[in-house]
Amino acid sequence: MSRIARLSDVLINKIAAGEVVERPASVVKELCENSLDAGARTVRVELEGGGVGRITISDDGHGMNREDATLCLERHATSKLRELDDLFHIDSMGFRGEAIPAIASVSRFTLHTAEPEAHEGTKIHVEGGGPPTVEDAPPRVGTVITVEDLFFNVPARRKFMRQGATELKHCEESVVRLALAHPEVGFFATHEGHELFASPASEHDPRERIAAALGPASFPHLFPVEERRLGVSVTGYLASPEYTLPNARGLYTFVNRRYIRDRGLISTVQRAFQDFLPAGRQPVVVLHIDVEPRAVDVNVHPQKQEVRFADARGVQDAVSAALSRVLRASPWLGTPEQQAANPPPRDAAHYAHAVERFLTRAQEATWGAPLPTAMDGPGPSQPARPLSPSYFAPPGGGAPGPFPGPAMPGRTLGFGEAQPQLNEAPPPGYFVALRPMGLLGSRFHVCEGPGGTLVVLDPHAALERARLTAYLRRLDEGTKAPAPSLFGTTVELSLAAVKSLVDGREALLLLGVDVEPFGGTALALKSVPPGLEGVDPRALLEALSRALPPRSAPLDVTSLAEAVRVMACHAARRASATPLTDAQLRALLGELDRADFTPPCTHGTVVVLEMPLLELERRAR
Ligand X SMILES: Nc1ncnc2c1ncn2[C@@H]1O[C@H](COP(=O)(O)OP(=O)(O)OP(=O)(O)O)[C@@H](O)[C@H]1O
Other C-beta atoms closer than 10 Å to the C-beta of 210 total 26
Least gap, CB of 63 to ligand X (angstroms): 6
Q: Which does 260 bind (CB under 5 to 8 A by kind): ligand X, Mg ion, none?
A: none
Query: What character string, x for contact with ligand X (CB under 6 A) and - otherwise, covers 139-168?
Result: ----x-------------------------
Piece of the chain touching ligand X by CB under 6 A; list 91-99, 203-211, 311-319, 336-344:
91-99
**DSSP single-letter state for residue 245:** B
Least gap, CB of 33 to Mg ion (angstroms): 5
Residue pair 489/532 in contact by the 8 Å Cβ criterion: no
Piece of the chain touching ligand X by CB under 6 A; list 97-105, 114-122, 272-280, 559-567:
97-105
- Chain centroid to CA 463: 27
- The nearer residue to ligand X, 98 or 262, going by C-beta atoms, is 98
The answer to whether 94 contacts ligand X (rule: CB under 6 A) is yes
Residue pair 39/22 in contact by the 8 Å Cβ criterion: no
Query: Which residues, 338 to 397, sit near Mg ion by CB under 5 A?
Result: none
The answer to whether 72 contacts ligand X (rule: CB under 6 A) is yes
* Closest listed residue to residue 261, CA positions, set 324, 323, 183, 177: 177
> SS3 of 97, please?
coil
Q: What is the DSSP string of 485-532?
A: ----EEEE--HHHHHHHHHTHHHHHHHT-EEEE-STTEEEEEE--TT-
The answer to whether 100 contacts ligand X (rule: CB under 6 A) is yes
> Amino acid identity, residue 526?
K
The answer to whether 113 contacts Mg ion (rule: CB under 5 A) is no
447 strand-pairing partners: 436, 455
- The nearer residue to ligand X, 63 or 206, going by C-beta atoms, is 63
- Chain centroid to CA 91: 17
The answer to whether 99 contacts Mg ion (rule: CB under 5 A) is yes
- The nearer residue to Mg ion, 90 or 180, going by C-beta atoms, is 90
Q: How far apart are CA 274 and CA 279, in angstroms?
A: 9
Phi, psi of 55, deg, nearest 5: -130, 125
Residue whose beta carbon is closest to Mg ion: 94
- Chain centroid to CA 489: 40
Query: Which residues, 528 to 587, sit near ligand X by CB under 6 A?
Result: none
The answer to whether 40 contacts Mg ion (rule: CB under 5 A) is no
- The nearer residue to ligand X, 299 or 490, going by C-beta atoms, is 299
The answer to whether 102 contacts Mg ion (rule: CB under 5 A) is no
Phi, psi of 363, deg, nearest 5: -65, -45
The answer to whether 98 contacts ligand X (rule: CB under 6 A) is yes
- Chain centroid to CA 198: 30
The answer to whether 268 contacts ligand X (rule: CB under 6 A) is no
Least gap, CB of 260 to Mg ion (angstroms): 17
Q: Tell how strand 251-255 and strand 285-291 pair up.
A: parallel
* Closest listed residue to residue 175, CA positions, set 199, 141, 194: 199
Of 99, 461, 528, 535, the one binding ligand X by CB under 6 A = 99
> How open is the CA angle 11-16-17, to the nearest 5 degrees?
95
Q: Which does 95 bind (CB under 5 to 8 A by kind): ligand X, Mg ion, none?
A: ligand X
Query: DSSP H helical segments within 293-445, as ranges?
Result: 312-329, 336-341, 348-367
The answer to whether 34 contacts Mg ion (rule: CB under 5 A) is yes
Query: Which residues, 6 to 65, sit near ligand X by CB under 6 A?
Result: 30, 34-35, 38, 59, 61-64
The answer to whether 94 contacts Mg ion (rule: CB under 5 A) is yes
By rule CB under 5 A, what count of residues binds Mg ion? 3
Least gap, CB of 229 to ligand X (angstroms): 30
Query: DSSP H helical segments within 194-297, as ranges?
Result: 206-214, 263-273
436 strand-pairing partners: 447
Least gap, CB of 59 to ligand X (angstroms): 5
- The nearer residue to Mg ion, 94 or 404, going by C-beta atoms, is 94
Phi, psi of 198, deg, nearest 5: -145, 115
Piece of the chain touching Mg ion by CB under 5 A; list 31-39, 249-257, 278-286, 356-364:
31-39
The answer to whether 499 contacts ligand X (rule: CB under 6 A) is no
Query: What character string, x for contact with Mg ion (CB under 5 A) and - otherwise, covers 53-92?
Result: ----------------------------------------
Q: How far apart are CA 603 and CA 565, in angstroms?
A: 9
- The nearer residue to Mg ion, 103 or 269, going by C-beta atoms, is 103
Least gap, CB of 552 to Mg ion (angstroms): 26
> SS3 of 192, please?
coil
- The nearer residue to ligand X, 69 or 535, going by C-beta atoms, is 69
Of 66, 80, 169, 573, the one binding ligand X by CB under 6 A = 80
- The nearer residue to ligand X, 21 or 532, going by C-beta atoms, is 21
- Chain centroid to CA 194: 37
> Amino acid identity, residue 118?
A
What is the maximum alpha-carbon separation in the chain? Answer: 92
Residue pair 351/343 in contact by the 8 Å Cβ criterion: no
By rule CB under 6 A, what count of residues binds ligand X? 22
Binding footprint of ligand X on the chain (CB under 6 A): 30, 34-35, 38, 59, 61-64, 72, 77-80, 94-100, 143
Instruction: Name the residues that contact Mg ion, by CB under 5 A.
Output: 34, 94, 99
